[in-house]
Chain A
Amino acid sequence: MYGKGLRGLSVATIVVLVGAFAVAAFYAPLDADQGFRQKIFYLHVPLAIVALAGFIVAGLLAIQHLRTREPIWDLRSYVAIHISLILGVAVLVTGAIWAKTSWGVWWLWDEPTLVSFLIVFLLYGTYTPMRFAIEDRERQARYASVFAIAAGAFVPICFGAVRAQPQEVHPQTFGSGELPGSMWLTFLVCLAGMALLFYTLYRFEIATKLARGRLRSLRRQLLDDAPVQRRSAAPII
Chain B
Amino acid sequence: MSVLAALLRKELRLELRTLESVPGMMLFSLTIFVVFHFALDRATVEGDLAAGILVVTLLFAGMLGLNRLYVADEEQGGFDGFLLAPVDRTWLFVAKAIALFAYLVALEIVMVPAFALLLLEPGLGQALPELLLVLALTNAGFAIIAALVGAIAVRTRARDLLGPLIALPLLVPVVIAAAGLLEPLLREGGAGGLDAKWLAILGLYDLVFGLLSVAVFDPLLED
Contacts and interface: CB of A to CB of B under 8 A. Distances in A.
B198 interface: yes
Contacts of B166: 123, 126, 130, 147
Nearest to B201: A161
B1 interface: no
A130 B209 CA distance: 20
B75 interface: no
A149 B156 contact: no
A232 to B, nearest CB: 14
A119 B158 contact: no
B56 interface: no
A224 B201 CA distance: 58
Interface stretch (B24-32, B96-104, B171-179): B171-179
A142 B222 CA distance: 9
Interface stretch (A13-21, A97-105, A150-158): A150-158
Given A134-B155, A142-B222, A150 B162 contact: no
A146 B173 contact: no
Contacts of A149: 212, 216
Interface in A208-234: none
B197 interface: yes
8 contacts: A129-B158, A129-B162, A130-B162, A143-B156, A143-B220, A146-B220, A150-B209, A150-B216
Interface in A156-176: 157-158, 160-162, 164-165
A130 B208 contact: no
Contacts of B201: 160-161, 164
B122 interface: no
B172 A161 contact: yes
Contacts of A164: 176, 197-198, 201
Given A130-B162, A165-B180, A142 B219 contact: yes
Of B180, B201, B212, B213, most A-chain CB atoms within 10 Å = B212
Given A153-B208, A153-B212, A134 B172 contact: no
Contacts of A142: 219-220, 222
Interface residues of B, number: 34
Interface of A: 66, 119-120, 122-123, 126, 129-130, 133-134, 139, 142-143, 145-147, 149-151, 153-154, 157-158, 160-162, 164-165
Contacts of B217: 146
Contacts of A133: 156-159, 162
B152 A143 contact: yes
Output the residue of A66, A146, A158, A162 with the most chain B CB within 10 A. Answer: A146
Interface in B158-200: 158-159, 162, 165-166, 168-170, 172-173, 176-177, 180, 197-198
Given A147-B152, A162-B173, 18 more contacts: A66-B216, A126-B169, A129-B158, A130-B156, A130-B162, A134-B156, A142-B222, A143-B152, A143-B156, A143-B219, A146-B219, A150-B170, A157-B205, A157-B208, A161-B201, A162-B172, A164-B198, A165-B176
Contact of A146 (B152, B159, B165, B223): B152
B208 to A, nearest CB: 6
A150 B162 CA distance: 16
Interface of B: 148, 152-153, 155-159, 162, 165-166, 168-170, 172-173, 176-177, 180, 197-198, 201, 204-205, 208-209, 212-213, 216-217, 219-220, 222-223
A66 B216 CA distance: 9
A126 to B, nearest CB: 5
Contacts of A130: 152-153, 156, 162, 166
What 4 A-B pairs are tightest by C-beta distance, nearest first?
Answer: A161-B173, A123-B169, A133-B156, A122-B169
A150 B198 CA distance: 22
Nearest to B195: A164
A226 B217 CA distance: 36
B136 to A, nearest CB: 19
Nearest to B223: A139
Contacts of A150: 148, 170, 209, 212-213, 216
B220 A157 contact: no
* Most interface-central of B158, B172, B201 (chain A CB within 10 A): B172
